[in-house]
A and B are shown apart, each in its own frame.
Chain A
Amino acid sequence: MPLFKSFSSFYEKSKNKEIVAGLSLISIAVLLNLVFGYFAMIFAFYLSFFKWDYIGEMQFVGLKNFAIVLRDLSRGLHGSYYLIAPFYTGLKNILIYTAIVVPVQTFLAIVLASFANQKIKGQQFFKVSYFLPATTSSVIISLIFIWLFMKNGFINYVFDLTVPGFQPIDWLNDKRYILLAISMVAIWGTSGHFMVSFLAAMQAIPKELYEAAMLDGAGPIRRFFFITIPMLRPMIVYVVVMGLIGALQMFDLAWVMAGASGGPGGAGYTVALDIYNEAFTRIRPGVAAAKSWFLFAIIFTTTYIFQKKYGRALR
Chain B
Amino acid sequence: MKKKMVHSLVLVSVLLLAIVAAGCIGGEKETATPETIVKTETKVETKVETQEKVFIRFAGWSAGETEMKKYQALIEEFEKKNPTIGVKYEVITQMFHENILASFGAGVAPDVFYVDSSWSPIFIEKGALYPISDLADKSFIDQFYPFLLEPFKKDGKLYGLPKDWSMLALFYNKKLFAQAGLTKPPETWEELEQYAKIIAEKTGKPGLAIYLGGFNRYVPVAISNGAPKPWFEKPADASWFDNPVVKETLTWYINLYRIGKIEMENQGKTPYVVQPGDVGAGWLGDAFGQQEVAMVISGNWMIPFLADQFPDFKYGEDWDIAPVPAGKKGRATMAYTVILGINAKSEHPQETWKFVEYVLGPEGQKELVVKGGHALPSLKGFENDPDMWPQHAKTLSFKYDNVVVFLWGPKSGILEGKFSDAMAAAMRGEITPEEAIATMKQIVEEELSG
A and B are partners in one complex rather than unrelated chains: yes
CB-based contact A53/B2 at 8 Å: no
Measured between alpha carbons, how far is A85 from B442 in the docked complex, in Å? 11
A residues near B17, Cβ cutoff 8 Å: 34-35, 38-39
CB-based contact B439/A46 at 8 Å: no
The main secondary structure of chain A at its interface with chain B is helix
Interface size class of B (residues with CB under 8 A): 35 or more
Interface size class of A (residues with CB under 8 A): 20 to 34
| Neighbour of A55 across the interface among B127, B411, B417, B439, CB < 8 A | B127
CB-based contact B21/A173 at 8 Å: no
Which chain B residues in 215-242 approach chain A with CB under 8 Å? none
Task: Name 18 interchain pairs, CB-CB below 8 A, sorted by A.
Answer: A18-B2, A19-B2, A19-B9, A22-B6, A30-B10, A30-B13, A34-B17, A53-B122, A54-B101, A81-B431, A81-B435, A84-B442, A261-B418, A280-B102, A281-B98, A281-B417, A282-B447, A285-B105
CB-based contact B126/A55 at 8 Å: yes
What 0/1 readout, one digit per residue, does chain A (27-42) give for beta carbons within 8 Å of chain B? 0001000110011001
CB-based contact B417/A265 at 8 Å: no
| Number of cross-chain contacts by CB at 8 Å | 83
Which of A15, A81, A261 gathers most chain B CB within 10 Å?
Answer: A81
CB-based contact A38/B14 at 8 Å: yes
Q: How far is the CB of B51 from chain A (nearest CB, A)?
A: 34
Q: Does A283 contact B (CB under 8 A)?
A: yes
Q: How far is the CB of A176 from chain B (nearest CB, A)?
A: 11
Q: Does B5 contact A (CB under 8 A)?
A: yes
CB-based contact B443/A280 at 8 Å: no
Q: Does A192 contact B (CB under 8 A)?
A: no
Measured between alpha carbons, how far is A49 from B230 in the docked complex, in Å? 33
Q: Does A298 contact B (CB under 8 A)?
A: no
Measured between alpha carbons, how far is A285 from B2 in the docked complex, in Å? 43
Q: Does B430 contact A (CB under 8 A)?
A: yes
Task: Answer whether A83 and B422 are a contact pair too, CB < 8 Å, given A39-B21, A53-B126, A282-B447.
Answer: yes
A residues near B424, Cβ cutoff 8 Å: 264
| Neighbour of A282 across the interface among B128, B277, B414, B422, CB < 8 A | B414
CB-based contact A43/B21 at 8 Å: yes
B residues near A19, Cβ cutoff 8 Å: 2, 5-6, 9
Q: How far is the CB of B225 from chain A (nearest CB, A)?
A: 26
Which chain B residues in 404-450 approach chain A with CB under 8 Å? 411, 413-414, 417-418, 421-422, 424-425, 428, 430-431, 435, 439, 442-443, 446-447
B residues near A46, Cβ cutoff 8 Å: 25
Which of chain A's residues has its CB closest to B447's CB?
A: A282
CB-based contact B128/A55 at 8 Å: yes
| Neighbour of A173 across the interface among B14, B95, B277, CB < 8 A | B277
- In addition to A54-B105, A83-B422, A285-B105, 16 A-B residue pairs with Cβ atoms within 8 Å of each other are A19-B5, A19-B6, A23-B9, A43-B25, A46-B25, A54-B101, A54-B102, A55-B101, A81-B431, A81-B442, A264-B425, A264-B428, A265-B425, A281-B98, A281-B414, A283-B101
Which chain B residues in 1-52 approach chain A with CB under 8 Å? 2, 5-6, 9-10, 13-14, 17-18, 21, 25
Measured between alpha carbons, how far is A30 from B14 in the docked complex, in Å? 10
A residues near B382, Cβ cutoff 8 Å: none
A residues near B128, Cβ cutoff 8 Å: 55
Closest 9 interchain pairs by CB? A54-B105, A55-B126, A280-B98, A54-B101, A55-B128, A55-B104, A54-B104, A56-B126, A34-B17
Q: Does B123 contact A (CB under 8 A)?
A: yes
A residues near B98, Cβ cutoff 8 Å: 280-281
B residues near A30, Cβ cutoff 8 Å: 10, 13
A residues near B95, Cβ cutoff 8 Å: 280
Measured between alpha carbons, how far is A114 from B102 in the docked complex, in Å? 48
Q: How far is the CB of A262 from chain B (nearest CB, A)?
A: 8
What 0/1 readout, one digit per residue, does chain A (238-271) give for beta carbons within 8 Å of chain B? 0000000000000000000000110011100000
B residues near A52, Cβ cutoff 8 Å: 105
| Neighbour of A266 across the interface among B127, B413, B421, B443, CB < 8 A | B421
B residues near A22, Cβ cutoff 8 Å: 6
